[in-house]
């Protein structure tokens, strides 16, 4: 049995962190669903940037939209919605079979709106309505400025993938924003089952400290962060406040492991996949990591709900001079800036591709 199937049987959802029109047109995504237990998908501006820049697959659609007078951000979201609605339809049987637990795809709102709660909420509502698919999650950063938009989106009934979380504290803040939105729906007499995942980035921790700590600590910080966060997740799921919303018909917000591709060439290509095997979580992985996992026939032990050895690992990093709380803030800040940079690069690719296609006409 493939390790992908073993993970799925364990109770963890495997999502693909990629979307291209070629993946859809070639039937590759359908094959991943059928053969590699893939049950969802995430996207981001960098993924679309590479897909559009490195392929002619989008040219006809871009040319058509240019002829309709569309450009820039408007043109991009039309392309993205075309891809993601097709992907959502492929995952719809899983969404229906699991009663909305699984089978989701994700689309990110413009990161240029990150400091504007009202505009972020309006964009999330508009894009979700345009897609017309119940299994589309809108990605909103779990930054201080993003948290009110997350609460309001959930209250409005818009499913949310809370992104850009780096620590237990970031996760708890996002979970509480989700919870407030659900509690407000319950108090207002609204249906409380609104889908959400909270995405914690893992490998970036290890990339941030490489060369700054003893070699024995390489590739250990991200996993320790994940273990600490998983304990908080399990504690929240079992708390009386969360059980009250379950009793009212709400569904838990699931914890999602993001940034799980191995950055260190000396480490296993499935380092984070094996270490983050945990029931009732999602692991969204790059295509190369998914294929590598399928080639490995075994898994290591399941993540402990009590955090395991994470606090002892944090003590070692503290001794090495790493302040994980300060680093978490830095990583989130850098991540937010990176999102903006990726978005600007994507808009540049759309503009240059549009110009070259218009010139060729």
Q: Identify the pLDDT of residue 54.
A: 86
What DSSP line would sit under 12-32, residue for residue? EEEEES---HHHHHTTHHHHH
Closest by Cα among 307, 314, 299, 183 to 234: 307
Task: Inform me whether the pLDDT recorded for 358 exceeds 80.
Answer: yes
Packing angle of the helix pair 324-360, 59-67 (nearest 10 deg):
70
- Structure confidence at residue 29 as a pLDDT band (50, 70, 90): very high
The 10s digit of each residue's pLDDT in 87-136 is 999 999 999 999 999 999 999 999 999 888 899 999 999 999 999 999 99
Task: Inform me whether the pLDDT recorded for 28 exceeds 80.
Answer: yes
Q: Identify the pLDDT of residue 297.
A: 64
- Structure confidence at residue 177 as a pLDDT band (50, 70, 90): very high
Among the listed ranges 64-73, 95-104, 290-299, 340-349, which one has the minimum average pLDDT value? 290-299
The 10s digit of each residue's pLDDT in 151-160 is 999 999 999 9
Q: What's the rounded Cα separation, in Å, for the pair 174 and 168?
A: 10
Q: Show the domains of the chain with their CATH numbers.
A: 3-360 (3.20.20.70)
For the stretch 216-236, what's the b/e string if a residue is b when 16 or more beta carbons lie within 10 angstroms of its beta carbon? ebebbbbbbbbbbbbbbbbeb
What DSSP line would sit under 158-185, residue for residue? --EEEEEE-SHHHHHHHHHHHHHHHHHH
139 is catalytic: yes
- Mean pLDDT along residues 45-67: 93
- Mean pLDDT along residues 277-299: 91
Q: Identify the pLDDT of residue 361.
A: 66
- Structure confidence at residue 14 as a pLDDT band (50, 70, 90): very high
Contacts of 342 (CB under 8 A, 6+ apart): 44, 45, 46, 49, 111
Q: What's the rounded Cα separation, in Å, for the pair 143 and 115?
A: 9
Q: What's the rounded Cα separation, in Å, for the pair 172 and 181?
A: 14
Q: Identify the pLDDT of residue 311.
A: 97
Q: Identify the pLDDT of residue 301.
A: 81
Catalytic residue, candidates 2, 30, 53, 139: 139
Q: Identify the pLDDT of residue 300.
A: 74
Q: Identify the pLDDT of residue 245.
A: 97
- Mean pLDDT along residues 161-170: 98
- Mean pLDDT along residues 232-245: 97
**pTM of the entire predicted model:** 0.96
The 10s digit of each residue's pLDDT in 301-355 is 899 999 999 999 999 999 999 999 999 999 999 999 999 999 999 999 999 999 9
Q: What's the rounded Cα separation, in Å, for the pair 177 and 161?
A: 12
Task: Inform me whether the pLDDT recorded for 282 exceeds 70.
Answer: yes
């Amino acid at each position: 049995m493939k390790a992908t199937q073993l993970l799925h049987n364990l109770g963890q959802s495997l999502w693909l962190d990629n979307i291209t029109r070629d993946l859809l047109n070639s039937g590759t995504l359908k094959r991943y669903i059928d053969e590699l237990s893939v049950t969802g998908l995430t996207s981001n501006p960098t993924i679309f940037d590479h897909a559009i820049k490195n392929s002619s697959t989008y040219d006809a659609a871009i040319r058509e939209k240019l002829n309709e007078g569309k450009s820039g951000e408007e043109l991009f979201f039309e392309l993205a919605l075309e891809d993601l609605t097709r992907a959502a339809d492929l995952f719809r049987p899983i969404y229906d079979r699991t009663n909305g637990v699984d089978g989701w795809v994700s689309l990110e709102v413009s990161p240029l709106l990150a400091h504007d709660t009202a505009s972020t909420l309006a964009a999330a509502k508009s894009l979700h309505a345009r897609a017309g698919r119940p299994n589309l999650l809108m990605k909103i950063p779990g930054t201080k400025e993003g948290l009110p938009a997350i609460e309001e989106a959930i209250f409005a009934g818009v499913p949310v993938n809370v992104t850009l979380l780096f620590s237990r504290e970031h996760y708890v803040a996002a979970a509480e924003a989700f919870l407030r939105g659900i509690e407000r729906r319950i108090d207002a007499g609204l249906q409380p089952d609104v889908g959400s995942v909270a995405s914690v980035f893992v490998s970036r921790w290890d990339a941030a400290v490489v060369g700054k700590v003893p070699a024995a600590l390489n590739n250990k910080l991200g996993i320790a962060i994940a273990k600490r966060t998983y304990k908080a997740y399990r504690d929240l799921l079992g708390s009386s406040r969360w059980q009250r919303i379950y009793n009212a018909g709400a569904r838990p917000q699931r914890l999602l492991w993001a940034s799980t591709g191995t950055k260190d060439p000396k480490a296993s290509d499935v380092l984070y996949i094996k270490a983050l095997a945990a029931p009732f979580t999602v692991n969204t992985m790059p295509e190369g990591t998914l294929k590598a996992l399928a080639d490995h026939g075994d898994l290591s032990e399941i993540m402990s709900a009590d955090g395991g050895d994470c606090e002892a690992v944090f003590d070692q990093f503290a001794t090495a001079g790493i302040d994980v709380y300060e680093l978490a803030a830095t990583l989130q800040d850098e991540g937010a800036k990176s999102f903006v940079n990726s978005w600007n690069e994507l808009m540049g690719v759309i503009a240059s591709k549009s110009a070259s296609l218009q010139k060729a006409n």
